[in-house]
Chains A and B, each alone.
Chain A
Amino acid sequence: MSVFIARRLLQSIALVLVMSMLVFLGVFAIGDPINTLVHPDATEAERQAIVEHFGLDRPLYEQYGRFLANAARGDLGRSFRFDEPTLSLIAQRVPATLELAFAALLLTVLVGIPLGLYAGLHPDAASSKLILGVSAFGFSVPTFWLGLMMVMVFSVRLGWLPSSGRGATVELLGVPVSFLTWDGLKHMLLPAINLAFFKLSLIIRLARAGTQEVVMSDYVKYARAKGLRPWRIVFVHVLKNVLVPITTVLGLEFGRTIAFAVVTETIFAWPGMGKLVIDSINVLDRPVIVAYLLLIVVMFIAINLVVDILYSVLDPRVDLEAQR
């Protein structure tokens, strides 16, 4: 296990380096931030001062080199717009995004797996067909459209749920969270459903296909021959086997949930990282974009590692040392 993790970490460092280069180049290609940074009425001298202040007059390789040197010391630069360290800027937004992502993940697991299991166990039931239909809808409609529709129906027409913001928050271990207040929960519900819907549909399909396959297996028939109670067959023998592929997919999907919460956060004005990065792209706040993208890369690496380890826990046949 430790050999596996060490090797993984080395690979990860190389990956982060390559990514940082791509991100840096990509951000440069988007456009020159100077026009958004400087007031249109500013004099040429003021303009020049700002360019020099941010080092934007330096050649690309020099800016990249300086970025790397700073990054090695844990400094990912300062935001042009807020003149604050990008890391702390992002860190402020992390709890909101994480909270939303976890809520979406929880919804996915708690709703998706039981529904998929049910549809797999009763493939001919009308309710199973309905579940399948909804899941087909779920990964066919674009997230932004679904979000807008939910706002229109539940916030505008019915007025049941608020359409934007986090609502009332309370501090939990020094971090503001919404899920502990009724108002916060109400604010969280729509964005969480919006963020979860695609994954939910995916997990329903996966769980259903897995269940149908496992139910046909000899070991389930054997479990029945042992006279086990039906609930034990379903929740131990079937579910544990179905969970193996689901864990992998959920792990990867969780990364995507955080990285691409951008759309949902923008629609529901959820003050998370995704909204920050969209705002930063709008004003070409390069350091924030670069730092955000690199953090996302690191997060994906970490999640993959955790998934691999979890996988070996769930499926005893997986031997991490033997891989590669």
Chain B
Amino acid sequence: MSAPTLRVEDLSTQFFTKAGLVKAVDGVSFSVEPGEIMGLVGESGSGKSVTGYSVLGLVDEPGRVVGGRILFKGEDLAAKSPEQRRELRGSRIAAVFQDPLMTLNPVLKVETQMVEAIQAHGRVSRAEARRRCVAALGRVGIPAAEERLSAYPHQFSGGMRQRVCIAIALLNRPDLIIADEPTTALDVTIQAQILHEMRSLCSGSGTSLIWISHDLSVVAGLADQIAVMYAGRIVERGPVGELLERPAHPYTRGLIRSVPANSRRGGSLYQIPGMTPSLVGLGEGCAFRERCDRADGACLSTPPEFDVGGGRTHRCFHPYEGRHTND
């Protein structure tokens, strides 16, 4: 079998802030095969977006990737020059961001913003670039693409703008798309359409997709593989069906129980007790132990990544086994 599209090994990204060291990403490993969709799930501040930015090479000061390896199609990205990484970005590794109202430049035409994405990665005539833009807009379901090209972002609705962003991501037929909460800012029906389209676009072209989301239910219907992040670490990872059916980590289990569809009608929604810990100066041990009813003395040391076979890993000394139930 060929090399995975992306292989991340023991990635650490830290922010050197005035308040102290923040280990935003702390020993994260995963891999994504060609055509595979990985859901990266976690709450705000769990490090899922920073993981995405680390792969893109867009971590801003005071942050820095301090450890681990990011292998893109078998090549170590850290060994590449800034110029080589720029050439990969938007061409081989594309990105879709969270808020489509903010990601398109308000003073530039959609055409400008699409054409430049093509011309940044090769000598393409404007006419040819334009033709590809029209085709890409058509693929994501934007009607009258030819006319819409000369419009400005504010003349599009939120859902349409996100489609434009997805079209831009697809322009150079990337091997990997990193989508950071791309549907969070959209309403539910648009979200469903976009999920469906992304799925078919990826399976059609063999593009791998990392879908970052705080919403487990969104990822559950989309991904092949799920990685759950908590306080900078992937606490559990595995194929989507397995992981949802038999979560091993208490946090994953808590997340699944918090999905409203799993609650009894009229009953109050489940919530995980406690709060996400502050990442500033987070010490040793399992970061979830304060909120976990299974925690004991063992959890004071950081759990390693246990590989339990079948593509599944978790970081828990007291994992659940057997079928997940709703109670």
Contacts and interface: CB of A to CB of B under 8 A. Distances in A.
A241 B99 contact: no
A267 B264 CA distance: 85
A236 interface: yes
Contact of B108 (A224, A236, A244): A236
Given A218-B97, A317-B152, A226 B120 contact: yes
Interface in A244-289: 244
Classify chain B's interface size.
20 to 34
A63 B86 CA distance: 73
B307 interface: no
Interface string B210-234: 0000000000000000000000000
Contact of A227 (B88, B104, B107): B88
Given A227-B86, A227-B88, A228-B116, A222 B107 contact: no
A300 to B, nearest CB: 27
B91 A227 contact: yes
A223 B106 CA distance: 12
B148 interface: no
The secondary-structure label for the interface of chain A is: helix
B89 A314 contact: no
A97 B87 CA distance: 51
A240 B109 CA distance: 12
Interface in A193-232: 217-219, 221-230, 232
A218 B180 CA distance: 12
B108 A237 contact: yes
A74 interface: no
Contacts of A241: 105-107
Given A218-B99, A225-B97, A227-B86, A317 B117 contact: no
Contacts of B103: 218-219, 221-222
Nearest to A214: B105
A253 B140 CA distance: 47
Contact of A222 (B86, B88, B95, B112): B95
A224 B120 CA distance: 11
Contact of B106 (A229, A236, A317): A317
Contacts of A228: 86, 90, 116-117, 120
Interface of A: 217-219, 221-230, 232, 236-237, 240-241, 244, 314-317
10 contacts: A217-B102, A223-B105, A225-B90, A226-B117, A227-B86, A227-B89, A236-B116, A237-B108, A241-B107, A316-B154
